[in-house]
Structure 1
Amino acid sequence: MDRRQAERLVNTYSDLILRLSYTYLKSTADAQDICQTVFLKLLTNPRHFESPEHEKAWIIRTAANACKDLLKSHWRRTTVAMDEAAPVPAPPVEEGSLLAAVQLLPPKYRAVIYLYYYEGYAAKEIARLLGENPATISTRLNRGRARLRTLLEQEELA
């Protein structure tokens, strides 16, 4: 892979990977690590993609899997995050915004809501990207919407 191709990949997908990773991890530093991990995998093992959609799907799937691996790692479960030790500013999310409410959802709902509404993927595509059953994704979307509705109603009453 040449330098031009690598720069194109970084310019095209780094923001997507960072935002998706942040929805899983709620940590800017961890999201940046995942972004580097995804590009490292792609650069050290170049792949041939059938289309730009195939390329984007591979990148999303790889980023989601890397986030899941990090979340279930022994190191992650037995250490304190730096965010808890010394607050570091994360990407600004306006308080009271819809995105702030989405960030309050559990990761399994947060990711599907993000991919569906912010990235424009259909439930079947999300299922394929995340390696889940389409019915599972539809259920998570419905439950995520219900939780989001409850959060927004509570905020409205406050």
Structure 2
Amino acid sequence: MKTEAEIKVAIETYGDMIRRICFLHLKQYADVEDIFQNVFFKYATKREAFDSAEHEKAWLIRVTINACHDFLGSWFKKKAVLTEDFSQFQIDPHSDQGHLLDIVMTLSPKYRDIIYLYYYEGYKIVEIAALLKKNENTIHTRLRRAKQELKEKLGGDYFD
């Protein structure tokens, strides 16, 4: 188990990244917070030490993506109807960042993950392939397709 200090450092270091990954998948603030807590609970109870900071970051990304996928496939998510308005937690849709995020959110999860890891976290294709446990060529193809889809939706040469 991790100490309270280790957990606090991990949350400060990786918390924003974990929330962004969750939001890309879940699109609801309450769901993001639930998964965020679950990810850091798993982190806190993990007994084995990490080989490096990069290994720790990769582990958190993988656990977050898996937790989001599990949640989206759960009975609760398929059957529950949320009635509260969480729009105050959204990025301003009229800003450039909000517009781009809205378009990225329309991509399928397999493309959103790759776009996020490549552009926001700065991972190379080889590293993304290892994180997502996919072939490098698959990642390269999905990145190319995602960029093409974004280019069409943005109506220009945004990624060239």
TM-score in same-fold range (> 0.5): yes
TM-score, normalised with respect to structure 1: 0.87
In the alignment, the residues of structure 2 paired with residue 51 and residue 21 of structure 1 have an alpha-carbon distance, to the nearest angstrom, of 23
Where do 5+ consecutive residues of structure 1 fail to align?
A: none
2:51 aligned partner, one-letter code: E
Query: 2:153 corresponds to which residue?
Result: 151
Query: 1:14 corresponds to which residue?
Result: 15
**RMSD, aligned CA:** 1.7
3-state SS of the aligned residue for 1:132? coil
Bigger shift: residues 103-112 or 33-42? 103-112
Bigger shift: residues 30-39 or 132-141? 132-141
TM-score, normalised with respect to structure 2: 0.86
Does residue 139 (structure 1) correspond to residue 141 (structure 2)? The answer is: yes
1:17 aligned partner, one-letter code: I
In the alignment, the residues of structure 2 paired with residue 121 and residue 143 of structure 1 have an alpha-carbon distance, to the nearest angstrom, of 18
Query: 1:86 corresponds to which residue?
Result: 84
Bigger shift: residues 93-102 or 41-50? 93-102
Q: 1:122-146, CA deviations, whole angstroms, 9 ceiling, x for partnerless residues? A: 1121121122222221121111111
Q: What is the percentage of aligned positions where both structures have the same residue?
A: 42
Query: 1:60 corresponds to which residue?
Result: 61
TM superposition shift of 1:9: 1.0
Bigger shift: residues 44-53 or 88-97? 88-97
Does residue 3 (structure 1) correspond to residue 4 (structure 2)? The answer is: yes
Please tell me whether the aligned partners of residues 101 and 151 of structure 1 are also in contact (alpha carbons under 8 angstroms).
Answer: yes
In the alignment, the residues of structure 1 paired with residue 10 and residue 47 of structure 2 have an alpha-carbon distance, to the nearest angstrom, of 12
In the alignment, the residues of structure 2 paired with residue 148 and residue 93 of structure 1 have an alpha-carbon distance, to the nearest angstrom, of 20
Aligned length: 151
